Structures are given as C-alpha cells and as structure tokens.
C-alpha cells in the first residue's frame, strides 16, 4: 500500500505543478488581452499595464528599528572604494561611507556632506574644503572609532588619484591638509567636474589604518563614517549592515540593512512578492508588469540618466559614409522603435545622445535628426553607391532590450535593402569587439552623472577612441575644442551653452540612433517609508534628505 501512496503523492505533485503553470499563464494572457482591448488605439505595440497601488496603514509616528532587505541582481565583490567597478558595490559603499560632497536627491545640485563648504580659486586650479569636526569613523579592527580629520580627506583623495581602478580622480594633482579642518586640493588643470567626481562612491572617505591594516582584504572589511556599518560580508550571498548610532547627521531609523544577491530576474520579483526582500532593484521587461499588477507591492519608475542607442562605425565599413548613416537613420521610426523596445513602459522614446534630464539637453536640436522616410533612405543609399544593398554586422549583449532593438532595426533596414546580421555575444566579447571598432553597429546603453561631460567626453571625444564609449571612432576637432573648453569653464550656464553647441554638431554628424531613455524601475514593499528613488539608480537610506524606516 505504501508504494501506491508514494505513487499517488508523486503523481499529484506533478499534475499540480503542471496545472498551476498553465493556469498562471492563461490568466496572465487574458488579463493582457482585456487591457489591450480597452486601450487598443493608443497602445500600439506596447503592453498596457494596470498599476495596482498597494497601500498599508502608516502610523503617524516613525517606528525605529527593524530590518530592510534589498535585492541586488549581481554580487558586490571588492568594496574598497578605489577598487570597486560595479554599481552593486556602490550601493553598499554609499550606506557605509560618506563622500566629501554629495548630490541632492534630484541629482541637480551638489550639497555639503563631510565638507561644509568649499572655495574655488579664480584660476579653477585650487579647491579649499572646510571639513566637519564632529564626524567619527565606525570602530574597526585597526582603530576604535576615532575622529575623522582633514588629514583623512587628503589621504583618500591622493589615494584615489593614484590607485583608483577607474581613474575616478585623474584631474587631481595632489591634496593636502592645511590644518585640522581644511584641505586644499590642487588640480592638474582646471576641471569643472571635480566636485561631481567627489560625489562618487569611489571617492568615499575611509580610515588609513584599516586600509593599511587589512591590505588586499580591505575590500571585504569596509569601514567608513556612514549611517550603517558593515557587519558581515558574504560573497554571492548577502551583506549585512548594522546601524551606526554615532552617525553625524542623526540616528538612522533602521537597525539592520541586508543586501541580498538574487541573480535571476524572475526570482528577484518572487522574493519581493513573498516578502523575502523589501526592495527589488533594476527591474526590466515582464517583471515590471508583474510588480505593477501585484496588489501587495508597488512599482516606482523614474526616467534614468541613461540613453539607449545603436552606434555606427565612423571609420570602417559602409557606415563610414555619412550618406549611409543618414539613410539608416531615415529608415527608422524612433517612436515605434522605442515602443517596441520598452514594451512594458520601462523607458521612453528619445532621439539625442544625452538624457533629457541633463542640463546640457537642447530640445531645439531634436529637429536636426533626419525624420522617418524610407523612400528618401533608399535614394540616399543609391547615391552612396549601395543601390544593390549592403550587409552590416551588429553586436549586442544578451539582454532583452538590445535584442528587441536589434530585431526591430533589422526589419526597418531590410525595407531599404540593408541586411543586418545580429551577433548576440556576452559582455566580455561585446566590450572588446565594440571598443576595438570591429562592429559596423553596436547597441548598448550609457549611463552616468547628469553632467554632459560624462556622456560627450566619453562617447564623442577623440581621446576616448579605443574605449567602449567611443569604440566607433567618432572624431570632430570642433567638438573636441568645445568639450575641452567646457571642461575648464566653471560657470554652469556657459558650459551648458558649449555643450548645446556640441550636441548640435554631433547630431548633424549622424553617429547613431539614440532611440531611448530607459527608466529606473524598482519594486518596493509599501511598508518601506521615506524612501526616495534616484534617477541614477543609487539607493541612499539615511542622508540629510531622508531617513528610511519600515512600518512594523
């Protein structure tokens, strides 16, 4: 009899999983159908999503204590500020450490942090910072929570300038402490982005004793001045932070913060729905829809400081010909392309190589982008001598956005006689192929600070050729001149003018199709309060502008 029972249980389990699988799918499908039927005319290719707001009763008093769990889609590895390379590490560094200055939550203005104010010399070469005298490091293995001084700031700036894996402070010549609370930083040449660079997690202030004491291992034992101190770092698993009661801005509300690594996108959302995590970062594709439609969690969406684009090879192959590039652009309807790529509303259509949120953006340049005209495109190709058609090699990584973009481009270009071969490769291959200028076209997304420098100088400056940013070899002396002038100028209004000029010249050169502005999407449990989403995707839990807490 026992055997029969086993058989029955096994069979039952199988049948149940099979049915729930189908059942789920069906209800999903029918929901989509109903919604799209209701909004058929407006929605085009994209799926209409009903965002179901989850609410809970929020007490008037802030409840202190408790735990916040945040999902990261990849494991943070080396947490040493000067050595970190990924956004995952930055999320943790920002909680454990502070920077000298910081961006406000809108990413528009630079605010004081460890420095209360700063004076820039007239020639733009020297920055003198006044450092707070009431900030203490978290206790660690090699110091017991001593006062942070101007000496520490100078040490960290010099260390970053010399050792940073990403050359994050390459404009700095040296920094020195003048007295207990003043630091003078001398630049190699005037640089308008020095303060912006200082807001990066890579330039966080850490105690010298810990860096030298731990040596290579410091990346696993980060210590700083921030609101949460590192308690346990488990690679590929989770990082546990505990509140730093002596935080200089004020006592953080949460007792514990846990960053959990969940690499599978579906599982990240499952964990959010089951309450295994409270915040799920970097949602894309269908998971955005699942979170929006779930009645127990909320979707937060914000236009990111990002552009999605396909970049043409400016040096080799048919796309080196300006006419071919213009033809390829004319063959594409940007709005339809973006609607197809951001099917679940995870981004919007764009057309210029700068995010709209950047202060260097100029709407008037939008008119310069060749408009959709397949017949005109064909004519241009004939004029360029490619009447019989051409074959282009495109490189993308194995990501849904890129794949969608590539297949849509393929069908648009096919209509004008261009055959597009799509090579889907993983990141390592992609970055090498793209950086060395071996792709006719490559598609990716670029994101950084809102300062146009971090887009233009990295993607269109002659000096950036050979890096992934400008692997396609864009080079225009006029643009180079404007970019180097804008870097020396410290007046933002004047810089904006220069960048707008550069934007126009670049757009007229037709270097690529800058079709989209991806959004930062995150899923959040309604019990999380006083949380501000930021356009660059960084999470900050306790600053002068917010102090996150959870309803118990």
Partner 1 sequence: MLKTIVKRILQSIPTLLIVVTFTFILTRMIPGNPALTMLGPQAPKESVEQLEEELGLNKSKGEQYVIYLKQILKGDFGRSYSYNQSVVELIKERIPNTLVITLTSLLIALVLGMIVGIVSAVRQYSILDYIFMVLALIGVSMPIFWLGLMLVLVFSVNLGWLPAMGMGSMAKGVWDVVSHMILPCFCLSTIPMATFARITRSSMLEVVNNDAVKALRARGLREGVVIWKHALKNALPPIVTVLGLQLASAFTGAILTESIFSWPGMGTLIVSAIDNRDYALIQGVVLFTAIVFVVINLIVDIVYTVINPRVSYESGKGGN
Give the footprint of partner 1 on this chain (CB under 8 A).
3-4, 6-7, 10-11, 14, 16-17, 20-21, 24, 75, 77-78, 83, 85-86, 164-167, 170, 216-217, 219-220, 234-238, 260-264, 266-267, 270-271, 273-274, 276, 425-433, 435, 444, 446, 448, 454, 458, 466-469
CA 140 vs CA 108, 149, 235, 244, 419: distances in Å:
35, 17, 20, 12, 60
Which residue lies nearer to partner 1 by CB, 262 or 528?
262
How many Cβ atoms sit within 10 Å of the Cβ of residue 144? 11
Beta bridge partners of 98: none
Which residue lies nearer to partner 1 by CB, 168 or 378?
168
- Nearest distance from C-beta of residue 375 to partner 1, angstroms: 37
Q: What DSSP designation does 64 have?
A: P
Which residue lies nearer to partner 1 by CB, 78 or 490?
78
- Nearest distance from C-beta of residue 288 to partner 1, angstroms: 17
For residue 36, what are the contacts with CB-CB under 8 A and spacing of at least 6?
43, 47, 48
Cα torsion through 80, 84, 87, 88, rounded to 10: -50
CB 297 within 8 A of CB 273: yes
Which residue lies nearer to partner 1 by CB, 164 or 253?
164
Q: What DSSP designation does 96 have?
A: H
- Nearest distance from C-beta of residue 235 to partner 1, angstroms: 6
Rounded Cα distance between 209 and 278, Å, is 35
Which residue lies nearer to partner 1 by CB, 111 or 425?
425
Which residue lies nearer to partner 1 by CB, 192 or 365?
192
- Nearest distance from C-beta of residue 271 to partner 1, angstroms: 5
- Which residue carries 């600053």 as its tokens? 543
Q: Helix or strand or coil: residue 471?
A: coil
Beta bridge partners of 126: 186
Beta bridge partners of 67: 256
- Nearest distance from C-beta of residue 39 to partner 1, angstroms: 28
- Nearest distance from C-beta of residue 15 to partner 1, angstroms: 10
CA 26 vs CA 22, 23, 46: distances in Å:
6, 5, 19
Tokens of 307: 């552009």
- Nearest distance from C-beta of residue 261 to partner 1, angstroms: 6
- Nearest distance from C-beta of residue 5 to partner 1, angstroms: 11
- Nearest distance from C-beta of residue 171 to partner 1, angstroms: 12
Which residue lies nearer to partner 1 by CB, 480 or 530?
480
Rounded Cα distance between 180 and 288, Å, is 50
Rounded Cα distance between 116 and 137, Å, is 17
Which residue lies nearer to partner 1 by CB, 198 or 381?
198
Length of the chain counted residue by residue: 552
CB 479 within 8 A of CB 505: yes
Tokens of 177: 């402490």
Which residue lies nearer to partner 1 by CB, 428 or 477?
428
DSSP notation for 164-199? -TT-TTTTEEEEEEEETTEEEEEESS--TTHHHHHT
- Nearest distance from C-beta of residue 173 to partner 1, angstroms: 16
Rounded Cα distance between 172 and 187, Å, is 4
Which residue lies nearer to partner 1 by CB, 418 or 459?
459
- Nearest distance from C-beta of residue 341 to partner 1, angstroms: 19
Tokens of 274: 């089951």
Which residue lies nearer to partner 1 by CB, 152 or 268?
268
Rounded Cα distance between 402 and 442, Å, is 9
């Amino acid at each position: 009899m026992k055997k029969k029972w086993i058989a029955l249980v096994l069979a039952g389990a199988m049948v149940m999983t099979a049915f729930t699988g189908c059942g789920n799918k069906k209800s999903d499908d029918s929901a989509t159908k109903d919604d799209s039927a209701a909004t058929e005319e407006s929605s085009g290719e994209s799926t209409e999503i009903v965002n179901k707001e989850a609410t809970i009763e929020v007490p008037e008093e802030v409840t202190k204590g408790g735990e916040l769990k945040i999902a990261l889609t990849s494991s943070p590895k080396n947490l040493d500020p000067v050595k970190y390379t990924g956004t995952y590490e930055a999320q943790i560094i920002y909680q454990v450490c502070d920077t000298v200055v910081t961006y406000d939550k809108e990413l528009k203005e630079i605010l004081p942090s460890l420095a209360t104010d700063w004076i820039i010399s007239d020639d733009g070469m020297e920055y003198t910072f006044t450092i707070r005298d009431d900030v203490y490091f978290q206790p660690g293995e090699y110091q017991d929570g001593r006062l942070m001084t101007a000496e520490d700031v100078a040490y960290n700036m010099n260390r970053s300038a010399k050792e940073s894996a990403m050359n994050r402070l390459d404009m700095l010549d040296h920094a020195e402490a003048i007295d207990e609370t003043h630091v003078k930083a001398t630049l190699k040449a005037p640089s308008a982005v020095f303060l912006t660079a200082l807001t990066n997690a890579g330039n966080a202030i850490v105690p010298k004793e810990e860096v030298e004491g731990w040596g290579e291992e410091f990346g696993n034992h980060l210590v700083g001045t921030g609101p949460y101190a590192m308690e346990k770092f488990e690679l590929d698993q989770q990082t546990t932070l505990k509140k730093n009661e002596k935080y200089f801005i004020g006592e953080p509300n949460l007792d514990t913060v846990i960053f959990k690594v969940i690499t599978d996108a579906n599982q990240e959302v499952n964990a959010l729905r089951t309450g295994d995590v409270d915040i799920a970062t970097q949602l894309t594709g269908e998971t955005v829809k699942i979170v929006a439609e779930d009645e127990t969690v909320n979707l937060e969406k914000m236009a990111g400081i990002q552009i999605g684009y396909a970049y043409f090879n400016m040096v080799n192959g048919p796309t080196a010909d300006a006419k071919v590039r213009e033809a390829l652009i004319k063959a594409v309807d940007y709005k339809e392309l973006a609607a197809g790529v951001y099917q679940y509303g995870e981004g919007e259509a764009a057309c210029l190589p700068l995010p709209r949120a950047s202060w260097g953006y100029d709407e008037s340049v939008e008119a310069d982008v060749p408009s959709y005209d397949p017949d005109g495109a064909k004519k241009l190709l004939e004029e360029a001598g490619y009447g019989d058609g051409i074959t282009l090699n495109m490189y993308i990584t194995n990501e849904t956005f890129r794949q969608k973009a590539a297949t849509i481009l393929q069908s648009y270009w096919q209509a004008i006689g261009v055959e597009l071969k799509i090579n889907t490769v993983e990141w390592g291959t992609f970055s090498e192929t793209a950086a060395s200028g071996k792709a006719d076209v490559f598609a990716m997304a670029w994101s950084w600070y809102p300062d146009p420098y971090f887009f233009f100088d990295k993607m269109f400056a002659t000096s950036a050729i050979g890096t992934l940013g400008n692997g396609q070899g864009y080079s225009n002396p006029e643009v180079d001149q404007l970019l180097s002038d804008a870097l020396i100028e410290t007046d933002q209004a004047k810089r904006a003018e220069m960048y707008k000029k550069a934007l126009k010249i670049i757009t007229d050169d037709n270097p690529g199709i800058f079709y989209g502005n991806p959004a930062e999407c995150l899923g959040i449990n309604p019990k999380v309060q006083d949380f501000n989403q930021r356009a660059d995707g960084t999470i900050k839990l306790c600053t002068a502008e917010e102090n996150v807490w959870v309803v118990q």
